[in-house]
Chain A
Amino acid sequence: MHQTVLTLAADPISQVVNQRWTSTADGWWLWSAHIGNLLIASVLTLMVLLYAAAKIKTGPESLGNDRFLTRSRGASLIEVIICYIRDEVLKPFLGKRTNAFMPFLLTIFFFILINNLLGMVPISKGLWLIFPEWKKEHILPVGMTATQNIYVTAGLAFIAFLAINLAGIRELGLGGYIKHLTADAPWFIWPIIVPIEIASTFIKPVALAIRLFANMTAGHILMVVLYSFAGAGIYMIGYKPGLEKGVGLLVTVGSTAIAFGIFFLELMVALIQAFVFTFLTTVFISQLEHHHEHGHDDAHGHGDDHGHGKGHEHAHA
């Protein structure tokens, strides 16, 4: 019996990847679980932020000083996140441009965050329990983690790429943007610097895409592996004699406990990765502005040095 099951080797990756729902005859997936998740996440993002906006906005004059209050726990939670990102990330890096970029950068943060968190909800397993025939056909209209799909993260990174470079052109002018590719280096270094700068323009969004994809994938695979250990332990309890039953119990309890801990780590990763994506996009936007202003503008925080260090290194290389 073992010979036959061994041939169907365990594949934890198959437990976390996208699932098909409908596809064309030649294999294009028109609707997949990730698309369903993206749709739900979009609706949730809209609901959460429109609700928060209604609560955070300045109320009518008749409320007196209370019109400045946010009187809702949920909206306060969102407000804390918004204010943290605005004050700790956007303001130090973007200065006067903070309010102009807040909508884009915070929308991308909440969009990714809600997608990441939705990926923590075991929608797929639930649906497959309710509809065993879907499991049999391996189809799923909604579920899994959309930000675990490299195409999704690439799409988001593409938007970030457009935002970074369009903002740069708007700030520096087309001439200034092109001049920026020389990193203020002397002309004889241009043959080296310019290709590096052009490459870095494209490497930045690629790194964004891969970072989010890899982080969301790795943790989920780890959890699947741990649960498969638990499954193996249960298998041993059921089918093995004596001592091995005990080992099976130990493995089941141990790996379940660790997987439980990893779940919370994953929650943290979901937040951190949404933050990192937003943070790096902000940094990349801030890199494309007039360099000579940096040393003098006190409105920029300490983070500015970090954000622009790269540009200055180029200048002194």
Chain B
Amino acid sequence: MKTLNAGLISIAASLMVAVPAWAGEAASGAAGATQDVIAAKKQGVFAGITAVVLFLVVFAILAAFAWPKIIKGLDDRENKIRSEIEAAEAARQQASMALEQYQKSLAEARAEAQKMIDAAKAQMNSQINEMKAKAEVDAANLKAKALADIEAAKKQALADIYSQSATLATTVAGKILKREVGSQDTQRFVDEALAGVR
């Protein structure tokens, strides 16, 4: 333990000696005059003046040739982006409004069309019904007329038949009365009478 301690102490001691030793060798040949961190006035004041002058020169040049361009460039871009965003927003709003309008008018048109279809249908139906009714009436009329015609024709025919048969009967009776009625003659008379009817 003792030897270890002694060893550590000797190492530490030699390190402490070594730092200045190396540094001293590194600095050997130096002009001497050590400086403080805060330099003497004679050593620093020109550097300070130079800093002020150079800064003002740099500032003047940049204020004239660099910063206006940079500020304008950044502002232009900002304004461009802002206006583009605003335009996009407006366009979106317009589009959604147009869509709404379109949907509304579409719905209106659809309702209108439905109404028109309904009206047309109703009109058609009523027309059909009307036509049907009319047709039925016509048909009934036609039927009635036909029946009446038939009836009239039948009556006419019967009347004709009656008058004809009367005339025929008279003629037949006259002929019969004029001659002897034989069996063959009878048959012949009948045939003649019938031929006369025709």
Contact = CB atoms under 8 A, between A and B. Distances in A.
Q: Do A and B come from one complex?
A: yes
Interface of A: 2, 5-14, 17-18, 20, 23, 26-32, 34-35, 38-39, 41-42, 45-46, 49-50, 52-54, 56-58, 65, 68, 70, 79, 82-83, 86, 99, 102-104, 106-108, 111, 135-138, 146, 149-152, 154-156, 158-159, 217, 221, 228-229, 231-236, 240, 243-244, 247-248, 251
20 contacts: A5-B24, A6-B24, A13-B37, A23-B42, A28-B46, A32-B43, A52-B70, A53-B73, A103-B59, A107-B63, A111-B59, A135-B29, A138-B31, A151-B45, A151-B47, A155-B48, A159-B56, A228-B19, A236-B14, A243-B7
A46 B21 contact: no
Contacts of A31: 46
Shortest 8 CB-CB contacts between residues of A and residues of B: A151-B48, A10-B23, A8-B24, A151-B44, A103-B67, A57-B69, A53-B66, A232-B18
Interface stretch (B74-82, B113-121, B140-148, B165-173): B74-82
B70 A151 contact: no
A17 B23 contact: no
B35 A149 contact: no
Nearest to B38: A150
Contacts of B49: 155
B51 A151 contact: yes
Interface in B20-74: 20-31, 34-39, 42-52, 54-59, 61-63, 65-74
**B-side interface size class:** 35 or more
Nearest to A228: B23
Contacts of A11: 23, 27, 34
Nearest to B17: A2
B117 to A, nearest CB: 52
A14 B18 contact: no
A317 to B, nearest CB: 35
Contacts of B34: 11, 13-14
A159 B57 CA distance: 12
Contact of A5 (B25, B72, B76): B25
A237 to B, nearest CB: 10
A227 to B, nearest CB: 10
A82 to B, nearest CB: 7
A71 B30 CA distance: 50
A86 B67 CA distance: 12
A243 B146 CA distance: 149
A204 to B, nearest CB: 18
Contacts of A232: 15, 18-19, 21-23
A41 B38 CA distance: 22
A209 to B, nearest CB: 10
Contacts of B29: 135-136
B66 to A, nearest CB: 4
Given A10-B24, A231-B23, A149 B66 contact: no
Nearest to A235: B22
A50 to B, nearest CB: 5
B11 interface: yes
Contact of A146 (B47, B56, B57): B47
Contact of B52 (A28, A159, A235): A159
Nearest to B78: A68
Contact of A46 (B42, B62, B69, B73): B62
A34 B47 contact: yes
Contact of A158 (B35, B42, B52, B76): B52
A153 to B, nearest CB: 8
Contacts of A217: 37
Contacts of A68: 73, 76-77, 80-81
A23 B117 CA distance: 109
Contacts of B21: 2, 5-6, 232, 235
Contacts of B19: 10, 228-229, 231-232
A44 B14 CA distance: 46
B27 A46 contact: no
Contacts of A86: 74
B20 to A, nearest CB: 4
B71 to A, nearest CB: 6
- Specify which of A11, A26, A155 lies most central, judged by the most chain B CB atoms within 10 Å of its CB: A155
B68 to A, nearest CB: 8
B62 A57 contact: no
Given A49-B62, A53-B67, A251 B15 contact: yes
A58 B73 CA distance: 5
B47 A32 contact: yes
A244 B73 CA distance: 63
A155 B72 contact: no
